[in-house]
Structure 1
Amino acid sequence: MPPFPTEQWLEEYRRHLNDSDAFAELGEGWGEGFDGDVLYVITDLPIDETTLGELPEETLDGLPDHVRERVADVTVADAPETFAPIQSGIPDDLADKLDQLESHVVDGTVYAYVGLEDGRCTEVEVVDGPEARETGFVMHGSYEVWRDIVDGRPSSSAVVTGELSVSGNRLRRLRYAPMFQLLGSIASEVETTHLFEGGDSTSTPLLDTAMRGRMVAERETHRSVKRTLELF
């Protein structure tokens, strides 16, 4: 299972988006006449507080036991520097994760570009800052909030509580609200290993249940409007 948030997870997310009939239907015409790409901003990754010994066990697969014991108390933030002298001698998978940490985590934040057009996810990429790729929309929240969304919390619930923000053209955000909800819903379908342990869940069960019902109703309304327009 790909670890979240990494390039491997994003690629699996892209596959799920493109395999989704609901996404193809809801996203038909998305991006026509406007920039439909989205930047996911994942803040407050606990890289200064989390040690390598606290990461999922498979993260350090292939590392000799005596080395694993020596680095168990090294923080994730310090890991690239710690491993630099022996970079050529560590497993390729671990080297790739360390490289991603060093190049893609900026001040505890990951910026993930998701290219969307006409019901397809055209491209995904972890970028090195908010200005690296031009996007029409930005979804911004802490790692804990994104973790809950990947675990099944409706993204619209996090928007209502103010824990997740969606910025971009206001009229399109309102018109295409079901699209942003579906983007979160499909994220929860990816079989995921979380790179960092979570704290207390940000989820609110009653609100989450209400937002799931609203999400279904809004998608059905979208379908009805679309069918009506097709008659003219």
Structure 2
Amino acid sequence: MAVDFPSDGWIDEWKAQLNDNDEYAEKASDWGVGWNGDFIFTIEVDDEAKEKFPELVGDNDKVQYFIGLEGGECTGAYQVDDLEDVDYGFEIIGPYENWKKLANGEIGAIDSLMSGQFELNGDMQRVMQYSDGAVEMVETATDIETNFVY
């Protein structure tokens, strides 16, 4: 059964699949150990999304999710209304269409950062150091049967 993206159900499914992925656990075993490896994923949305899905977007121009990552495990995944309420080490920002391409496997994690399709707030050098884990994290997302909400 397909899960809507973005939604709490999708983020919950991603967390479950990450925690059930031995390859991710191995490749990301050092990620976030002794430092904050948690992410905020900021999905920029347009007026069409605001009209079609007001319960998801409200008056905002973005939807944000916290993804807790440490030692090859996803420690938490949920929607965030106010970034002041969470402690995170990285934020990745991009338009809905690019998140859709990423979740479909049409663009890669590292390539999309390097090409400017996404903006990273945080230590790019650290992301590159652990790029195998980042790639496996995104590849895990492509395994989710996804219904894109627009």
Give your verdict on TM over 0.5.
yes
Q: Name stretches of at least 5 consecutive residues in structure 1 with no aligned partner.
A: 52-74, 80-97, 197-232
Q: Name stretches of at least 5 consecutive residues in structure 2 with no aligned partner.
A: none
- Separation in 2 of the partners of 1:166 and 1:155? 11
Structure with greater strand percent: 2
Tell whether 2:114 aligns with 1:193.
Answer: no
Q: Which has the larger radius of gyration?
A: 1
Percent of matched pairs sharing the same residue: 28
Q: How many residues align?
A: 148
1:164 to 98, 118, 124: 118
- Separation in 1 of the partners of 2:100 and 2:52? 18
Equivalences for residues 1-232 of structure 1 within 5 A: 1-43=2-44, 45-46=45-46, 48-49=47-48, 75-76=51-52, 79=54, 98=55, 100-102=56-58, 107-153=60-106, 154-196=108-150
- Separation in 1 of the partners of 2:19 and 2:66? 16
Residues 159 and 171 (structure 1), Cα distance of their counterparts in 2 relative to 1, 3 Å cut: closer
- Separation in 1 of the partners of 2:119 and 2:132? 15
Contact 2:43–2:64 (Cα < 8 Å) also in 1: yes
For normalisation by structure 1, the TM-score amounts to 0.59
Q: Matched residue of 1:49: which SS?
A: helix
For normalisation by structure 2, the TM-score amounts to 0.88
Contact 1:30–1:116 (Cα < 8 Å) also in 2: yes
- Separation in 2 of the partners of 1:6 and 1:50? 13
Structure with greater helix percent: 1
Contact 2:28–2:132 (Cα < 8 Å) also in 1: no
